[in-house]
């Protein structure tokens, strides 16, 4: 019986999972084909990273869940196709950017996803990154997810930026994926933020201003011009088409 259940579990992984990655956790949905009344989910070590209360079967009426070691016994009314859904604190993601080019040629802005996975690999048939500022409480991802929903701004999913990434097998460790790219023509800026002074040389900051070619979630921007590294700066959240400004530090 246990061998049959293990083979069933492996078959489910092969079908592919829908994975939505948040700044501090992920939501995973696995397709399952359920026998009548009772089914055992062999989660293994993954269960330690699944917050209690987030594991559920969608598509049947649950009657009971029993946690035993690395397995979960489900009792329910119904059978057939369903979805096993849970939150997973072993996977998190964020967005960062690179801006590269030369002084006489258009610069190229690239958005990257940085995904961190602990534990075993995940096969993501569909992979979505929801990036932005979402405060998460350690080991309490379900409450954090509800908090992000409650603080959502109108017109944006969960108050975050949504990016669809290519489906892939995620391996343990850190994976960085470029997923959006566009040419931009930044306007070079200088600013002085200090009390009035009469010095011959004033401490000014250098920066860039350009329209967002796609929605820009908060993240770190690294700038390279003509092959030289110019610095890093925080990218402010910016809707597509609006102007954004980044400041790289003191101009010499």
Take residue 30 and report the two structure tokens written for it: 């696995």
Query: In a 3-state reduction of DSSP, which class is residue 144?
Result: helix
| DSSP 8-state symbol, 187 | E
- Per-residue pLDDT, 26: 93
- Per-residue pLDDT, 6: 43
Take residue 11 and report the two structure tokens written for it: 């078959």
Q: What is each CA distance from 121 to 44, 46, 184, in whole angstroms?
A: 13, 10, 36
Q: Where are the domains of the chain?
A: 17-88, 91-250
**Beta-strand relationship, 61-68 and 243-251:** unpaired
How many of the other CB atoms lie within 10 Å of CB of 38? 13
pTM: 0.78
CA 53, CA 51: separation in Å to the nearest integer?
6
Q: What is the dihedral of CA 77, 83, 88, 93, to 10 degrees?
A: -160
pLDDT in tens, the chain (252 residues): 444 444 344 334 434 699 999 988 999 999 999 999 999 999 998 899 998 889 999 999 999 999 999 999 999 999 999 999 999 999 999 999 999 987 777 899 999 999 999 988 999 999 999 986 555 455 444 444 433 333 333 335 556 799 999 999 999 999 999 999 999 999 888 766 655 555 555 567 888 899 999 999 999 999 998 888 888 999 999 999 999 999 886 655
Find all residues with CB under 8 Å of 54, minimum gap 6, and list them: 85, 86, 87, 141, 142
Q: Which helix (H) or strand (E) holds 150?
A: helix 141-150
CA 39, CA 131: separation in Å to the nearest integer?
35
């Amino acid at each position: 019986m246990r061998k049959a259940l293990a083979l069933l579990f492996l078959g489910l992984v092969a079908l592919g999972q829908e994975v939505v990655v948040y700044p501090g956790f992920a939501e995973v949905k696995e397709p399952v084909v359920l026998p009548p009344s009772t089914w055992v989910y062999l989660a293994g070590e993954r269960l330690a990273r699944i917050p209690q209360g987030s594991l559920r079967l969608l598509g049947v009426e649950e009657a009971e869940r029993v946690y035993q070691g690395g397995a979960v016994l489900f009792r329910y009314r119904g059978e057939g196709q369903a979805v096993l859904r849970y939150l997973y604190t072993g996977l998190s993601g964020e967005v960062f950017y690179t801006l590269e080019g030369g002084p006489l040629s258009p610069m190229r802005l690239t958005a990257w996803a940085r995904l961190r996975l602990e534990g075993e690999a995940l096969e993501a048939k569909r992979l979505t990154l929801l990036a932005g500022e979402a405060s998460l409480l350690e080991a309490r991802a379900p409450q954090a997810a509800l908090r992000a929903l409650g603080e959502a701004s109108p017109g944006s999913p969960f108050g975050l930026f949504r990016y669809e990434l290519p489906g892939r097998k995620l391996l343990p460790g850190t994976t960085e994926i470029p997923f959006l790219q566009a040419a931009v023509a930044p306007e070079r800026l200088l600013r002085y933020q200090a009390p009035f002074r009469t010095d011959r040389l004033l401490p000014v900051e250098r920066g860039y201003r350009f329209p967002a070619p796609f929605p820009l979630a908060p993240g770190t921007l690294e700038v390279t011009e003509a092959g030289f590294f110019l610095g890093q700066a925080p990218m402010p959240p910016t809707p597509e088409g609006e102007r954004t400004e980044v400041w790289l530090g003191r101009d010499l």
